[in-house]
Amino acid sequence: MVEIHLERTIAAPVEEVFDWLADPVNLTAAPLVLTSAYAKDSSPGAGAVREVTCVGPRFREHITAYDRPHSYSYLIVESFPPFNHQGGTLTFTPSGNATRVEWHTEYTHPARTGGKLLEAVTRPLLRWSFLAILDGCAKALERTTAGGR
């Protein structure tokens, strides 16, 4: 099983950080993400469906929990390559004038599609992508906050 756990403190209010990271459009901060949006007839909140297309992979995710501005969770329900996703959660904790973000996800790939070999490829790619998204959030919000809010 692959487990990815990242933490980052972003110098912006918790509501702004949550909203930025919960907006699927901002997943395109990851270099390999081409498009990301809510599926047709889907809107923010529990039950929403996100569709993410990357260079190669694609994902359809259900938002399984949505507690603004504290946390949200998602589950990959369709993907190429196939994932057995145990779920992912982003948790947001105020820390003075900043927000501590924790991103945790766990998954495996079926043996028939490469199993452990594919996991050795996807783990560093997903970790890199998640870090790029957190960096994009920090750049977007810290710049605006520093600009006189």
| pLDDT tens sequence across 15-67 | 999 999 999 999 999 999 999 999 999 999 999 999 999 999 999 999 999 99
* Cα Rg, the chain, nearest whole Å: 15
**DSSP annotation of 133:** H
Sign, Cα dihedral of 112, 53, 24, 141: positive
Q: Are 124 and 134 in contact (CB under 8 A)?
A: no
Q: How confident is the model at residue 143 (pLDDT cuts 50, 70, 90)?
A: confident
Domain definitions of the chain by residue range: 2-139
| C-alpha torsion 19→46→71→25, nearest 10 | -30
CA–CA separation, 43 vs 130, rounded Å? Answer: 22
Q: Are 68 and 57 in contact (CB under 8 A)?
A: no
Structure token digits, residue 96? 């003075």
CA–CA separation, 64 vs 71, rounded Å? Answer: 11
pTM: 0.94
Find out if CATH 3.30.300.20 is the number for domain 2-139. Answer: no
